[in-house]
Amino acid sequence: MKIGTDIIHIQRIEKSLAKYGDSFKKRFLSSQEIQTAQKVESIAGYWAAKEAISKALGCGIGANLSFHDIIISKTSLGAPTFRLSEEAQKRHPYSHTSLSISHDGGFAIAVAVIT
């Protein structure tokens, strides 16, 4: 079992959205994720989630794993979940995953567990 966590100041995401607009979102979110994450708190949560997942995989975001290799969605009950792209699954095989995202007090945090 591997665990990754990340925290981000929501204001950092707000500033990037103000400066770069939709191109900032497209840098790390798929079109489906953009539709799901409408509020800045949710966008910050997705950022933290992708960083936490990359840390749980032990590689970080870079040559072995891109933001777009990580696909975040929600269950029918609204709980966050994720999967990796086919190419990333070949490099980082897994059997089970768990993801938690939260935000409060100007911060978004995510914890990812991968087995």
The residues, ordered by sequence, that sit 6+ positions from 103 with a Cβ below 8 Å of its Cβ are 10, 41, 42, 44, 45, 109
Give how far Cα 38 sits from Cα of 44, 56, 84, Å: 10, 26, 22
Q: Which of 55, 68, 74, 90 is catalytic?
A: 55
Q: Which of 25, 50, 92, 103 is catalytic?
A: 103
CA–centroid distance for 1 within its chain: 19
Q: 55 an active-site residue?
A: yes
Per the annotation, the verdict on 39 as an active-site residue is: no
Active site residues: 55, 103
